[in-house]
Amino acid sequence: MPETWWRGAAIYQVYLRSFADGNGDGIGDLAGLRTRLPYLADLGVNAVWLNPWYPSPMADGGYDVADYRDIEPVFGTLAEAERFIGEAHALGIKVIIDVVPNHSSTASAWFEEALAAGPGSPARERFWFRDEPGDWKSIFGGPAWTQVPDGQWYLHLFDPGQPDFNWTNPEVHAEFHDVLRFWFDRGVDGIRIDSAAVLVKDFDGGDPDGYTDLDEVHEIYRGWRRLADEYDERILVGEVWFPDQERFARYLRPDELHTAFNFDFLACPWEPAALRRSIEQTLDTHIPLGAPPTWVLSNHDVARVVTRYGRAETSWDHGNRRDGAPSDLELGHRRARAAALLAMALPGSVYVYQGEELGLPEVDDIPGELRQDPMWTRSGHTVPGRDGCRVPLPWAGEEPPFGFGAGEPWLPQPEDWRKLTVEAQTADLGSTLNLYRAALRLRRDRLGDGTLTWLQSRPDVLAFTRESGLTCVVNLGADPVRLPPHESVLLASGPLDGDELPSDTAVWLT
């Protein structure tokens, strides 16, 4: 299969609210992002993926979309988004945006029309309205049905501000085809599909069997793929959470999505056998389909990897978030650096969540009155939610807001982040930022798409070679291990002890 940009890309996830604030209101925006594009180019990424930037009441951080063809005024304007796409392309950076097909916003024109039109109207048939509520539970906690003033109930798998679309309605199909064309025509290179597996509903099925991975969802994406193929080098990326790799693979068939997030690798504990199983299973799933794997360590929905890897239990599970669990951040930092070299050495594409390149930890101590994640409110203030991984980035200076912008950030930054700013780490040759810069630069030349060959090693060591001749060795054991025969050390996640690789350290060799 011919090489295309997305098969071996390094893709940087921008959570716009927390990336950079250009107008001083404490919220990240397109103006701030545009000023930081040179930073992303210097970092060495091939593409950026932006979380939703559409008009939204922000009931769920922008995933409650009021208008799919415009930009949230807090972030900027449609004209500014078009300029951003052009400026990114000029720097050799592709642009991927979120599309949210499962649900809309109660502030959308369609939903407002449905409320005004009343029961039995064609406008209500675009959503799931019922005279009696079902017993499904919201993924965010509480019931998945909310009553409107005329007595009917509507379905929302997530927040009540996010009414689910009825995908048996042809109008919904036509609407999203038009949305895809709208953005592809403006130069967007890819679409990341939020909650890709839950669009189709079967109310005779249980919760979640009645909405998770039903067969009809695949026909939706076949239609999207035919549309994307009308354009040059456009891609579809699915958010698909499945432990079952056979079900996961169905989304990657040649006439469906180009790639999907590999959450099995993200959720994997820092254990050699588990990581090797995840890598081998991922490759075994993708290679027969001709689809490139993706490697993801964190994102805007999970605890940051530095904190996770410093805990006694290093795996990730949405059902058992372990928020606030004790973490040895020094250990987590060492492991996160090693994991970065491991992920970037694997064949396929790699995603870097903003701040990962700075080694930012999870912020567990955000005061309750400042938390904004609906998980916090929907759980009765028992689940802290995802705000801890969404704290605005530290760019420069000795105190908050650390160059994020002129105003007070929408979530508070820890005082001790002064050591983790881009400015501080640029001056430190051994920093995590400079490790990422070096690794991404080498990755462009030597890695990306392809295969790997495992090397014989101890059970607590992962070692493999790539087609370019680069060898990656990761020591997950307690004791140092001798490096395999090599000509030179290209990069190491931590100091080496002569010809030995210390615990929780990775190295790239030739």
List residues with catalytic annotation: 194, 230
Render the burial of 228-256: b for 16+ CB within 10 Å, e for the rest. Answer: beeeeebbbbbbbbbeeeeebbbbbeeeb
- Residue in this structure with the two tokens 């970037």, named with its chain if needed: 344
Cβ(340)–Cβ(447) under 8 Å?
A: no
Find, among 421, 292, 262, the residue nearest to 355 by Cα: 421
- Residue in this structure with the two tokens 């995908």, named with its chain if needed: 167
- Which whole-number Å values give the CA distances from 357 to 28, 146, 270, 422, in the listed order? 18, 41, 19, 9
Cβ(425)–Cβ(434) under 8 Å?
A: yes
Q: Please tell me whether the peptide bond between 401 and the residue prior to it is cis, using omega within 30 degrees of 0.
A: yes
- Residue in this structure with the two tokens 């030349």, named with its chain if needed: 445
- The span from the CA of 111 to the CA of 357, in Å, is 40
- The span from the CA of 184 to the CA of 133, in Å, is 38
Chain mean position to CA 313: 22
- Which whole-number Å values give the CA distances from 380 to 373, 377, 386, 478, in the listed order? 12, 5, 15, 41
- Let me know how many helices (H) and strands (E) the chain has, helices first: 14, 18
The DSSP annotation for 284-316 comes to: HHHGGGTPPPEEES--TTS--HHHHTTSSS---
- The span from the CA of 453 to the CA of 465, in Å, is 5
Bridge partners, 473 (sequence order): 463, 507
The DSSP annotation for 352-405 comes to: EETTGGGTPPP-----GGG---HHHHHTTS-S--SGGG-PPPP-SSSSTTTTS-
- Residue in this structure with the two tokens 């931590």, named with its chain if needed: 494
DSSP β-ladder status, 259-260 and 489-492:
unpaired
